[in-house]
Amino acid sequence: MALAAAAARRAVADGVPGLIYSLRWSRLGLHSTSAAWNPAEPKPVPLAKLKDSFNEGTSITYLEELEERYHKDPASVDRSWQAFFRNLDHGVTGEAMAESFDAFEKGKLAMSPFTAAAISNQTVQESMRLLLMIRAYQVLGHFAADLDPLRISGHTHPPELDPAFWGFKDTDLDREFFVGNWNQSGFLAEGRPTRTLREMLTRLRETYCSHIGYEYMHIPERDKCNWIRERIETIDPVQFTKQQKLHMLDRLSWSDMFETFLANKYTAAKRFGLEGAESLIPGMKTVIDTAADLGVQSVVIGMPHRGRLNVLANVVRKPMSQIFSEFAGKEPIAHEGEYTGSGDVKYHLGTSFNRPTVHGKMVHLSLVANPSHLEAVNTVVLGKTRAKQYYSEDHERGRHLAILLHGDGAFSGQGIVYETLDMSGLPDYTVGGTIHLVVNNQVAFTTDPKDSRSSPYCTDVAKSLNCPIFHVNADDVESVVRVCQLAAEWRQAWKSDVVVDLVCYRKHGHNEIDEPMFTQPLMYKKIKAHKHSAQLYAERLIAEGTFTKEEVQQVRDRIMQHLNAAFEGAKDYKPSKKDWLASHWSGFMSPAQLSRIRNTGVPAELLRSTGLAITALPEDFAFHRQIKKVYETRRAMIESGEGLDWAMAEALAFATLVSEGNHVRLSGQDVERGTFSHRHAVLHDQTNGAKYVPLNHVFPGQKPNSFTVCNSSLSEFGVLGFELGYSMESPNSLVLWEAQFGDFANGAQIIFDQFLSGGEAKWLRQSGLVCLLPHGYDGQGPEHSSARLERFLQMCDENPYEMPHHDEAQWFSGGHLGTQIQRANWQVVNCTTPANYFHVLRRQVHRQFRKPLIVMAPKNLLRHPRCKSPLYEFDDQPDDANIVGVRFKRVIMDDTGLTPKDRGPRPPAEPEIKRVVFCSGKVFYDLHDAREKQGKVGEVAIVRVEQLAPFPFDLVCREIRRYPNAQLLWCQEEPMNMGAYMHVQPRFDTCLREEGKPMMGRMPYAGRPPMAATATGFGEVHGKEQARLIANALDVNYSGAI
Ligand SMILES: Cc1ncc(C[n+]2csc(CCOP(=O)(O)OP(=O)(O)O)c2C)c(N)n1
Ligand SMILES: [Mg+2]
C-alpha cells in the first residue's frame, strides 16, 4: 500500500494522479485521508487538448472530462489514455499500477506503465488460456476459413475458436494482454506489443479464418513453423500494390478469356476447361516467378486434363495458334523419313519452352506428356527433375523444380500419390521438394467428395509428410497469389514439399459436353448463379477505387485482340516435325532414320583393367568375410579370363559404360545387395557401417554418383515411373529398374502399359530404360516364378505375319536388319549367358537411338555352375571372321559339334538332326544336360532365342535352313497360355512360309499345360512337370501336341 501511495504521490508532480484520487481512489488503494497528497488546482482544458497523450494531462477536471469522453467514444482520446481507462475499468489493482509507474520511471519498462500494470494483472490462468486459444487458431483456424466459393462444403466450426470456450467474456475484449513466448515467432513471439483481446482475435481471424486456411501445425520442427508464422502472423495484413493488382487482373483475365474463347469457337469440343478455377493460372505463374527469383532455372510440370490447355497457353506459352490448330485434330504432315508416331489427344501432349519471368529471369518450362491415368505422371516428373539436378550438378536442388498439379478426387483416391510423397525425402530420389497444386473443384466426374474420401480435406494424405498445406478460396485471386508465393518460398527455403489446395468449382460438367445437373443439381444451381472469379476481382478493384471500369475493360480488350489474332493464325498453321519432336535429343535417330549397328565389345586390356579396378577392395575396410570371398572370386575371374558369372558380367557392363563417360543408375528394391544376394554393389564395413561402392572407383577422378545404385522404397509403380522420367532426360545413361521378383512388376503395370510400351509412338520421346524382371520356374510356387513374359510380348507392336525385309548382302554388318529394332516399341530378351547380358546392356547405350528393354532376369542362373562366360566373349574381337558390329546374340545356335557353327545366312545343312528344340531362358540348361545324359547330341539340336522381341526372323530362318529334316518344337517352362509360346508360334510360321516350307499352324510344344495360376505351389508337382516337359522336348517320337 505504501508503495502505491508513493507512486501516486510521485505521479502528482506529473499532474496525473489527481485523476487517480478523484476517479478511482478506492480501487487504486489510495484514500483521501492520505495526508501527503495535495491536489493541484484544476486548470481549464481546451477541448482540443483532450486528444493529448497521457503524460501531458494535468488536472483532475481534465481527467474527469477525459474519462467522460472516453466512455462516450473511446477513440476520441489518445491511445495511452484509452489503455489507462480500460485498465481501470477492468479492475487493475493499485499495487500493479504503482509498481509499473516505478519501473517506468526507472526506465525498466519499455511499454506504457498502464499496459504493464494491465499485464501484471493478467492471471496465469488467463495467459495459459490465451495461449491455448491462439494455438487453437493455428491448429484449427483453417476449419473456420472461408474457403469454398460456393459455400457448400461446410466444415463444422471448431468451438475452440470462440473466446468464450476459453473463459473470456465480452468485457475482456478490450483488455490488453501479453502472450510472449520463448522461441516462438508470429503472434506468440516475445517482445510482440501487447494487444487487446479484440485486436488479437481480429488478426487471428484475418490470418487463419479468411480466404486462406493454413495447415502446418502437424510439422514437428519449430523452425519451420516459426518460418511460416513470421510470414503470415504479421502485425498488420500485407497489402498488394496497384501494379501487382493490375498484374493479377491481367493474368486472371487471360485465364478466363482463353476458356470462354475456346468455348465460343469450338462449341462441341472436349477441352476439360478450367472455368471455376481460373486463378490457377495467376497462381502457377506466381510460383514460377517467385521460384525463378529464388534461383530456379527450370521447372518440370506434371498435370492432369483439367485446365491443361490453359496452362500450355498461358503458363508454358505454347503458341496459341498451334493450340487452336490442334483442335482440328489434323494429322501431322510426314515428310520423307519422318516419324510421326500414333499421336495423342491434345490434352495429353507435353511440350517445353523457355520463357521470361516478370522480373526478367529466363526459365525453362517443360510439361511432361501423360496418359489419361490420373497421377501416373507424378514420379515421371520427379525422375526427370532429379536427372536434371544430377546432370547440372545442382547439389542443393535449388535450380530445378518439380510442380505437380492434381484433381481433388485423384489426389485423395490414387495410391500413387502416397508413393510420390513418400519419395520426397529419400536421398536417392528426393528432388528437394515438389510444389503440389490441387485443383479442388469439389467433384470427381460425377462423384461427391463424401463418397470419394474419408478425410475432411482431399489433401490429407500429404499430412504424412512434414510439409505445409495451404487451402485457399480460388475466387480470391489475391489470396491464391499470396499462398503460391509462400509455397515457392517454402520450397526454396526448406527444399521440401508443399501443397496448395485451390478450393474452386467446376463451371461445366466433367467435360463441356457432360450435363452436371443429372447428378449435382444443388451444386450446379449455385454455380449457375455464381460470377466468374475474374469478374469478382474486377468488381472488387473498381469498388475499392484501384481501377476504373474503363481500365478494366482495356485489359480485356487487349487480350481479346491477341486471341483473335492467334485464331486467325491457326487457320494457316501447319503442324510440322519440329512441333512434334520439340525436345528430341539432337543427333539421335527416329524410328524412321537408320542407325548403324555398333560393336558393344570392349578391348581386352580395358576389360582387364576395369575388372581389376572394381574388384580391388581397400585395406582399411572391415568387409564381411563372405563378401571378401565374393570379390576375390570375381578378381580371379578377371585374372584367369574364365568363368565370369552374371553379377560380374553386369558389373563389367556398368564399369565400362561409366568409364566411357556414361551415367549408370540402378534402382529398385534391395538392388544394392541384390534380392538373391548376388550383386553386392554396396559393401558395408562390419565395425562402423561405412559403405564402399566398388563401381564408384572404376578410374581416378570419377564423378561422384556417375554410378548410382540405390535401394528404393517398397513401390513398383512409383519407382518405375521415376526411373522412366530419369531415363528420358539424357541419352548418355543406362538407367535400370529391377523388380524384386518379376511378379511384382504388375504393380507398375500402368507405367508399362501407358508410358513404356507406347510412349514413343504417342509422344515421340525415347527412353532406353532397362527393366530387370527376375523370372524362371524353379519350384518356388505361383508367386515367385513368372514375370508374365507373355504380357510384355503381347504389347510388342510387331506384325507377326510380316517378314521384315532383309538384305543378305549386308548380313555380316547387321545392316540387313534395317530399322527393325528402331521401329519396334520395345525389346524383350531372356538371356542365358553372362556375356550376352553384358552386351545387351551395353547395346542400350551404344546405338543412335534409345529403346526400352525388358529383361527376363535369372534367379538360379546367378549361381548355375554352367551359366558362365569366358572373358574373351566380352571383348571387341568378332567370333566369326566375317562378323562386324554388335556382339549381342539375338539367337544362340546349338553349341554342339567340334567346330563353331557357320553364322552366315546359308549355313551347311545338318540333315541328321531330327528335332530342333527352340527355347528361351534358363530351360536351356535343363534341356542341355538332359540331352547329354540321354546321348541325343547328334539327334536333337537346341537353339536359344535370346531376343524374343523384335523377333529374330532372319536368324530363325537360318536355323530352319540348317536343319532341313528336323521337326521344330517350342519348349518352355511356363504354362501354355503364358510364356513366349503364343508369341513365337505365328512368327515361326512366317519364317517357314519364307523358307517355302509348310506352315505348322499349331507349333509342336513341350511345356506346362494352360494354367490359371502361374505355377504349382507343390515342389514335387513342379519337379514332375519339369522332368516331363524336358523329356517331351527331347523325345523325337513325341508329337508335340498336348
Ligand atoms: C486412374 C484413373 N481412373 C479413372 C479415370 C477416369 N477419370 C477421368 S477424370 C476423373 C475424375 C477426376 O476427378 P478429379 O481428380 O477431382 O479431377 P477433375 O476432373 O474434377 O478436375 C475420372 C474418374 C482416370 N482418368 N484415371
Ligand atoms: Mg475434381
C-alpha cell at 779: 519350384
Indicate if 403 and 446 belong to the same structural domain: yes
pLDDT (average), residues 672-688: 97
Q: Give the atom of ligand 1 at the shortest distance from the alpha carbon of 374.
A: 26
pLDDT at site 18:
36
Judged against a pLDDT cut of 50, whether residue 12 lies above it is answered with no
Is the distance from CB of 469 to CB of 502 less than 8 angstroms?
A: no
pLDDT(15) > 50: no
Least confident segment among 563-567, 577-581, 771-775: 577-581
CA of 425 to the centre of ligand 1 (A): 27
- Rounded Cα distance between 687 and 630, Å, is 19
User: Which residue's CA lies nearest to atom 13 of ligand 1?
Assistant: 444
Q: Is residue 47 part of a domain?
A: no
Q: How far is the CA of 440 from the centre of ligand 2 (A)?
A: 5
CA distances in angstroms from 33 to 3, 15, 38, 544, listed in the order given: 16, 19, 11, 59
Asked if the structure places residue 546 within a domain, the reply is yes
Among 347, 445, 502, name the best residue to mutate to test ligand 1's pocket (greatest count of ligand atoms within 8 A of Cβ). Answer: 445
From the CA of 750, give the closest atom in ligand 1: 1
Q: Which three cell numbers stand for residue 569?
A: 493464325
Pocket of ligand 1 (CB under 6 A): 306, 372-374, 407-410, 439, 441, 443-445, 506, 510
Q: Examine the domain organization and report whether 562 and 619 are in the same domain.
A: no
Per-residue model confidence (pLDDT) at position 815? 86
Least confident span in 220-229, 329-338, 890-899: 329-338
Burial (Cβ within 10 Å: 0-12, 13-18, ≥19) of residue 42:
middle
pLDDT confidence of residue 655: 98
> Any idea which residue has 527355347 for its cell?
919
Give the number of the atom of ligand 1 that is nearest the alpha carbon of residue 372. 25
Tell me: pLDDT of 33 over 60. no
Among 95-104, 688-697, 797-806, which stretch is predicted with the lowest mean pLDDT? 95-104
Ligand 1: centre distance to CA 373 (Å): 8
CATH code, domain with 347:
3.40.50.970
Query: Is the predicted pLDDT of residue 32 greater than 90, yes or no?
Result: no
Nearest listed ligand to the Cα of residue 445: 1
- Are 570 and 609 found together in one domain? no
Q: List the single range of 288-302, 528-542, 591-605, 773-787 with lowest mean pLDDT.
A: 591-605
Provide the 10 A C-beta neighbour count for residue 239. 8
Are 782 and 1027 spatial neighbours (Cβ–Cβ below 8 Å)?
no
Which pLDDT score is estimated for 834?
A: 98
What ligand has the least distance to the C-alpha of 376? 1
**Distance of CA 988 to CAs 795, 973, 997, Å?**
18, 19, 11
Q: What is the mean pLDDT of the segment spanning 359-379?
A: 95
Measured distance CA(726)–CA(896) in Å, rounded:
43
Report the distance separating Cα 306 and Cα 505, nearest Å: 12
Which residue among 574, 589, 622 closes a domain?
A: 574
Residues 418 and 516 in one domain: yes
**Which of 553, 574, 595 is a domain's end point?**
574
Q: Are residues 544 and 635 in the same domain?
A: no
Q: Give the separation between CA 1018 and CA 781, rounded to whole angstroms.
A: 7
25 vs 66 pLDDT, higher one:
66
Grid coordinates representing 707 are 554410378
Of residues 57 and 1010, the one with the higher pLDDT is 1010
**Of 813, 810, 844, 839, the residue nearest 827 (C-alpha):** 844
pLDDT, one tens digit per residue, over 124-151 is 788 889 999 999 999 999 999 999 999 9
> Where residue 688 sits, what CATH number does that domain have?
3.40.50.12470
The answer to the question of residue 687 being in a domain is: yes
Minimum mean pLDDT range among 560-574, 832-846, 876-890, 978-992 = 876-890
Amino acid 590: pLDDT: 82
- Residues 971, 929 share a domain: yes
Residue scoring higher pLDDT (1 or 630): 630
Helices (H), 495-623: 521-528, 533-543, 549-571, 577-580, 604-613
The 3-state secondary structure of 883-907, one letter per residue: CCCCCCCCEECCCCCCCCCCCCCCC
- Taking the C-alpha atoms of residue 948 and residue 920, their distance in angstroms, rounded to an integer, is 8
Task: Tell me, yes or no, whether 447 and 553 share the same domain.
Answer: yes
Ligand found nearest the CA of 442? 2
Q: Is residue 101 part of a domain?
A: no
Domain tally, the chain: 3
- Cell 499430412 locates to 463
Going by CA atoms, what residue is nearest to atom 7 of ligand 1? 445
**For ligand 1, mutation pick of 310, 374, 419, 511 (most atoms within 8 Å of CB):** 374
Q: How far is the CA of 230 from the centre of ligand 2 (A)?
A: 33
Residue 504 lies in a domain: yes
Most distant CA pair in the chain: distance in Å?
Answer: 139
Q: Are residues 661 and 741 in the same domain?
A: yes
Between the CA of residue 765 and those of 80, 351, 373, 693, what are the distances in Å?
Answer: 70, 11, 18, 32
The pLDDT of 833-841, averaged and rounded, is: 98
Of the two residues 87 and 214, the one the predictor is more confident about is 214
Cβ atoms 971, 943 nearer than 8 A: no
Instruction: Identify the domain containing residue 670 by its residue range.
Output: 604-805+815-863
For residue 433, is pLDDT > 80? yes
In terms of domains, do 617 and 555 share one?
A: no
Output the 3-class SS for 1-23: CHHHHHHHHHHHHCCCCHHHHHH
Q: Which of 274, 363, 276, 261 is nearest to 320 (CA)?
A: 261
Q: Is 296 left (phi over 0), alpha (psi -120 to 50) or beta?
A: beta
Higher pLDDT, 692 or 1042: 692
- Closest-CA residue, ligand 1 atom 20, reads 444
> Residue 6's pLDDT band (boundaries 50, 70, 90)?
very low
Ligand 1, atom 23, residue with closest C-alpha: 445
Kindly identify the ligand whose nearest atom is closest to the C-alpha of 411: 1
Q: How far apart are CA 658 and CA 610, in angstroms?
A: 10
CA distance 228 to 184: 11
Pairing status of strand 498-503 against strand 947-949:
unpaired
pLDDT grade for 158, boundaries at 50, 70 and 90: very high
Nearest to 844 by CA among 763, 952, 771: 771
Cβ atoms < 10 Å from Cβ of 613: 18
CA of 416 to the centre of ligand 1 (A): 14
Of all atoms in ligand 1, which is nearest to the CA of residue 440? 16
Inter-residue contact 994 to 803 (CB < 8 Å)? yes
Residue 186 backbone class (left: φ over 0; alpha: ψ -120 to 50; beta: rest): left
**Closest protein CA for atom 17 of ligand 1:** 407
The band of 25, judged by pLDDT with boundaries at 50, 70 and 90, is very low
Measured in Å, residue 524 CA sits from the centre of ligand 2 at 14
Task: Say what the pLDDT of residue 24 is.
Answer: 38
pTM of the model: 0.90
Dihedral sign for Cα 870, 871, 874, 878, please. Answer: negative
Residues 6+ apart with CB under 8 A from 765: 350, 369, 583, 584, 728, 759
Res 268: pLDDT: 80
Mapped onto helix, strand or coil, the DSSP state of residue 401 is strand
| Residues whose Cβ atom is located within 5 A of ion ligand 2 | 407-409, 441, 444
- CA distances in angstroms from 710 to 58, 319, 723, 1025, listed in the order given: 79, 41, 11, 38
Output the pLDDT for position 121. 66
**Relative to the alpha carbon of 405, which ligand is closest?**
1
Residues 259 and 406 in one domain: yes
Residues 591 and 760: beta-carbon distance below 8 Å:
yes
**% of the chain residues with pLDDT over 70:** 88
Q: Is residue 766 part of a domain?
A: yes
List Cβ neighbours of 978 (8 Å cut-off, separation of 6 or more): 786, 788, 789, 790, 1011, 1014
CA-closest candidate to residue 157, choices 136, 131, 128, 130: 136
Helix (H) / strand (E) element for 82: namely: helix 79-89
Residue 158 lies in a domain: no
Round to whole Å and give the CA distance between 919 and 891: 10
The predicted-structure confidence for 381-393, as pLDDT tens digits, reads as follows: 999 999 999 999 9
Vertex 664, ends 628 and 760: CA angle to 5°?
145
* Mean predicted confidence (pLDDT) in 578-590: 64
726 Cα–ligand 2 center, Å: 29
Whole-number average pLDDT of the chain: 89
Task: Fill in the DSSP letter of residue 1018.
Answer: -
CA of 797 to the centre of ligand 2 (A): 35
* d(C-alpha 852, C-alpha 971), whole Å: 26
What is the per-residue pLDDT for 127? Answer: 84
Query: Per-residue pLDDT tens for 914-926?
Result: 999 999 999 999 9
Residue 555: inside a domain, yes or no?
yes
Atom index in ligand 1 nearest the CA of residue 452 equals 16
Residues 355/365, Cβ–Cβ less than 8 Å: yes
Boundary residue ending a domain (554, 574, 594): 574
Q: How far is the CA of 633 from the centre of ligand 2 (A)?
A: 59
Nearest ligand 1 atom to alpha carbon 441: 20
Kindly list the distances between the CA atom of residue 823 and the CA atoms of 96, 339, 727, 957, 1013, in Å, as whole numbers in the listed order. 89, 10, 19, 21, 34
In this model, does residue 193 exceed pLDDT 80? no
- Identity (one letter) of the amino acid at 479? S
287-300 pLDDT tens trace: 999 999 999 999 99
Within this chain, do residues 828 and 975 fall inside the same structural domain, yes or no? no
Residues 977-990 pLDDT 10s: 999 999 999 999 99
329: left (phi over 0), alpha (psi -120 to 50) or beta: left
The whole-angstrom separation of Cα 38 and Cα 212 is 58
Task: Tell which wins on pLDDT, 153 or 871.
Answer: 871
Task: Find the ligand nearest to 510 CA.
Answer: 1
Q: For residue 411, how far is its CA from the centre of ligand 1 (angstroms)?
A: 10
Same-domain check for residues 801 and 656: yes
Q: What is the pLDDT of residue 100?
A: 66
In angstroms, the CA 378 to CA 55 distance is 65
Q: Which atom of ligand 1 is nearest to the CA of 414?
A: 1
- Mean per-residue pLDDT for 887-903? 89
- Tell me, what amino acid is at 326? E
Number of Cβ within 10 Å of residue 546's Cβ equals: 16
- Confidence at residue 29, expressed as pLDDT on a 0 to 100 scale: 33
Nearest residue (CA) to ligand 1, atom 12: 444
CATH of the domain at 988: 3.40.50.11610
- Please report the atom of ligand 1 found closest to the CA of residue 307: 21
Cβ(592)–Cβ(337) below 8 Å: yes
Residue 418 Cα to ligand 2 midpoint, Å, equals 18
DSSP-derived secondary structure letter, 331: P
Give residue 799 CA to ligand 1 midpoint distance, Å.
34
CA 584 – CA 601 distance, rounded (Å):
28
Cis-peptide into 950, omega within 30 deg: yes
